[in-house]
Structure 1
Amino acid sequence: MLIDNHNRTINYLRLAVTDRCNLRCNYCMPSEGINFAKRDSVFTIDELCLVAEILVGQGIEKIRITGGEPFVRKDLMVLLRHLTTLKGLNDISVTTNATLIGPHIDELKQLGINNINVSLDAINRGTFEKITRRNQYDTVHNNLIRLISEGFNVRINFIVLEGQNEQDILPILRLMKHYPVSVRFLEEMPFNGGSKTFQKIKWDYKAILAHITEAFPNYRKLESPATSTSINYQIEGHKSTFGLIPSFSRTFCGSCNRLRITATGDVITCLYGKPKANLREMVRGGNPREKVAQTILATLGSRAKTGFEAQNEHEKVFDKSMTSIGG
C-alpha cells in the first residue's frame, strides 16, 4: 500500500502514454503547438507495461490512461490488453478527445474497459471548432453517441472557458438528459504553454452551479466517494447527472489519492507542483523494479499537502502545456 506523508492512501495512477495530440485546444497549448518530446525520450509500450506492473504491485488499484491524446499511439491497445491481466488492478479507464477511438470501441468493450472520459468543451459545432482549432466535430459526436449506445460508462469533461463556451453549458445538459452519462464541468486551469496567466477565474464551481440551478431549480446532490474530485448532482427528470470539479479552487486536496507519471517518466505528485523524479533511465537500466519502487516511495514521502502549497514550488507556475503534464 502506498501512503504519503500526510497519511493519504495513494491507489490511483494517471499514466500518460504520449504528449502528442491531434487537436490544438486553445486552453491547452498555443496554436503553433509545443515542442513535443522526442520519440526516444518517451516510454515504449513495454516500459509502460513494466511501470504499471510495479505500481500495481505497490498498491495502485486504478489506472487512467491519459495523454496528450492516448489513441495517437497506434500500439496503445497492446498496453490496455496487458493492464487487464494485472491482478489487483480493479479499474482501467481512458481519457480521450474521441477523435480516434472509433476503431477500438469493440475491443475495449471485449476487454471490459468501460470507463471512458470524453473531453468535450462545446456542443455547438462552431464553438467546438474554435476551441479545438480542428474540424473533428462529426467524428467526436458520432463516437460519443456510439460509446453511449454501446453501454460504456461515459463521463463528459467540459472545461468552462470565460468568453468562449458558457453558452453551451445548459444546451449540453438538455442534450444529455435522456442518456445515462455524467457531464462534468471543470474550472479553467491556466496550463496552456505559458500564453496566459491569472490569479482568479469568473467561472468557479460555485458560479457554474448557480448558472445551472437557475435554469434547473429542481435538482439534488448525490453522494460521492470521499476521494472524488467532483461534486455531483442530478436534475429532476434527467437520466444524466452533472458534476463540478473545482480544479482551480482545489477543494479536494485533502483526500487526493492520485499520482501522475508522464509519457517521458516524470513523477508528479500534484498537478500544480514540479516533477519529483524521473523514472525513464531507471526503467531502462539494471534492476528497474527495485529502483522504481523505491523512488515512488520517496516521492510520496515529501508530497505537498495541497495544490496551493505545491504551486509555491514554481517561480512561474503555469509554464507547461497540459498535454505534456499528463492531464
Structure 2
Amino acid sequence: MLIDNHNRTINYLRLAVTDRCNLRCNYCMPSEGIRFAKKEQLLTTEELCKVSELMVAEGIDKIRITGGEPFVRKDLMQLLRFLAGLEGLKDISITTNATLIGPHIEELKELGVTNVNVSLDAIDRENFKRITRRDQYDLVFHNLHQLIREGFNVRVNCIVLDGQNTDEIIPMLQLAKEFPVSVRFLEEMPFNGGSKSFDHIRWDHRKILETILAAYPDYEKLQSPATSTSVNYKIAGHKGTFGIIPSFSRTFCGSCNRLRITAKGDVITCLYGKPKANIRDLIRGEDSTEAVSRAVRQAIGNRAKTGFEAQENFDTVFENSMTSIGG
C-alpha cells in the first residue's frame, strides 16, 4: 500500500501514454503546439504495461489513461487489453477529446473499460471550433452520443474560460437534462504552455455554481466520495448530474489519493509541483521492479500537503502544458 507523508493512501494512478494531441485547444497550448517528446523519450507499450503491473502490486487499484489525446497512440488498445486482465485493478478509465475513440467503442465495452471522461468545452459549433482550433465538432458529438447509447459511464468535462465559453454553462447542462451523464465544470488552470499568464481567476467554483443555481434553483447536493475532486449536484427533472471541480482553488488537496506518471516517465505527486522522479531509465535497467518501486515510494514520501505548498517550490510550473503533464 502506498501512503504519503501526510498519511493519505494513494490508490489512483493517472497514466499518460502520450504528450501529443490532435487538437490545439487555446487554454492548453499555443497555436503552433509545443515541443513534443521524441519517440525514444516515451515509455513503450511494454514499459507502460510493466509500470502498471508494478503500481498495482504497490496498491494502485484505479488507473486513468490520459495524454495528450490517448487515442493518438496507435497501440493504445494493446495496453488496455493488458490492463483489463490485470488482477487487482478494479477500475480502468480514459480521458479523451472523443475525436478518435469511435472505432474502439465496441472493444472498450467488451473489455469493461466503460468509464470515459470526454473533454468538451463548448456545445456551440463555432465556439468549439474557435477553442479547439480544429473543425471536429460533428465527429466529437457523434462519438459522444455513441458512448451514451452504448451505456458508458460518461463524464463531460468543461473548463470554464473567462470571455470564451461562460455563456455556454447553462446550454451545456442540456446534456445532463437529456442523458444520464455527469457534466462537470472545471476552473481554468494555468498549464497552457506559456500562452497565457494569470495568478487568479474570475470564474471560480463559487461563481460557476451561482450561475447554475440562478437558472436551476431546484437542486440537491449529492454525497460524494471523500477523495472526489468534484462537488456534485442533481437538478430536478434531469437524467444526469453536474459537478464543479475547484482545480485552481484546490479545495480537495486534503484527501488527494492521486499519483501521475507522464508519458516520459516523470513521477508527479501534484499538478502544481515539479516531477519528483523519473522512472524511464529505471524501468529499462536491471532490477527494475525494486528500482521503480523505491523511486515511487520515495516520491510519495516527500509530497506537498497542498497544491499551494507545491507551487511555492516550483515557480516555473506554469510554463508547462497540460498535455505534457498528463491530464
State the TM-score bracket (shorter-chain normalisation): over 0.9
- 1:57 Cα shift? 0.2
What is the aligned partner in structure 2 of residue 149 from structure 1? 149
- The alignment status of 1:123 with 2:123, answered yes or no, reads yes
3-state DSSP class of the match of 1:116?
Answer: strand
What is the aligned partner in structure 2 of residue 322 from structure 1? 322
What is the aligned partner in structure 1 of residue 312 from structure 2? 312
- Distance (Å, rounded) in 2 between the aligned partners of 1:290 and 1:315: 32
C-alpha offsets along residues 187-224 of structure 1, whole Å, 9 cap, x if unaligned?
A: 00011111211121011000000000000000000000
Instruction: Read off the aligned partner of 2:162 and give its amino acid letter.
Output: E
What is the aligned partner in structure 2 of residue 207 from structure 1? 207
What is the aligned partner in structure 1 of residue 140 from structure 2? 140
Instruction: Read off the aligned partner of 2:210 and give its amino acid letter.
Output: A
3-state DSSP class of the match of 1:233?
Answer: strand
Conserved 8 A contact 2:175-2:181: no
Relative to the length of structure 2, the TM-score reads 0.99
What is the aligned partner in structure 2 of residue 264 from structure 1? 264
- 1:322 Cα shift? 0.5
- Distance (Å, rounded) in 1 between the aligned partners of 2:49 and 2:5: 27
What is the aligned partner in structure 2 of residue 99 from structure 1? 99
Q: Which runs of 5+ in 1 are unaligned?
A: none
- Distance (Å, rounded) in 2 between the aligned partners of 1:105 and 1:214: 37
What is the aligned partner in structure 1 of residue 168 from structure 2? 168
- Distance (Å, rounded) in 2 between the aligned partners of 1:229 and 1:315: 24
What is the aligned partner in structure 2 of residue 85 from structure 1? 85
- Distance (Å, rounded) in 2 between the aligned partners of 1:26 and 1:119: 13
Superposition pairs of residues 215-254 of structure 1, within 5 angstroms: 215-254=215-254
3-state DSSP class of the match of 1:316?
Answer: helix
What is the aligned partner in structure 2 of residue 10 from structure 1? 10
Change (3 A) 1:132 1:220: same
Q: Which runs of 5+ in 2 are unaligned?
A: none
- Distance (Å, rounded) in 2 between the aligned partners of 1:188 and 1:315: 18
What is the aligned partner in structure 1 of residue 44 from structure 2? 44
Q: How many residues align?
A: 327
C-alpha offsets along residues 135-186 of structure 1, whole Å, 9 cap, x if unaligned?
A: 0000000000000000000000000000000111101112430210000000
- State, as a whole percentage, how many aligned pairs show the same letter: 70
- Distance (Å, rounded) in 2 between the aligned partners of 1:21 and 1:175: 25
Regions of 4+ moved over 3 Å:
none
- Distance (Å, rounded) in 1 between the aligned partners of 2:167 and 2:116: 25
C-alpha offsets along residues 101-139 of structure 1, whole Å, 9 cap, x if unaligned?
A: 000000000001110000000000000000000000000
Conserved 8 A contact 2:176-2:242: no
- 1:255 Cα shift? 0.1
3-state DSSP class of the match of 2:310?
Answer: helix
- 1:313 Cα shift? 1.6
What is the aligned partner in structure 1 of residue 195 from structure 2? 195
3-state DSSP class of the match of 1:189?
Answer: coil
- Distance (Å, rounded) in 1 between the aligned partners of 2:208 and 2:27: 18
What is the aligned partner in structure 1 of residue 287 from structure 2? 287
Superposition pairs of residues 67-82 of structure 1, within 5 angstroms: 67-82=67-82
What is the aligned partner in structure 2 of residue 177 from structure 1? 177
Instruction: Read off the aligned partner of 1:197 and give its amino acid letter.
Output: S
- 1:240 Cα shift? 1.0
- Distance (Å, rounded) in 1 between the aligned partners of 2:175 and 2:38: 41
Instruction: Identify which range, 188-197 or 241-250, moves more after superposition.
Output: 188-197
- 1:86 Cα shift? 1.1
- Distance (Å, rounded) in 1 between the aligned partners of 2:247 and 2:315: 20
Q: CA RMSD in A?
A: 0.6
- 1:316 Cα shift? 2.7
- Distance (Å, rounded) in 2 between the aligned partners of 1:259 and 1:326: 11
- Distance (Å, rounded) in 1 between the aligned partners of 2:245 and 2:81: 30
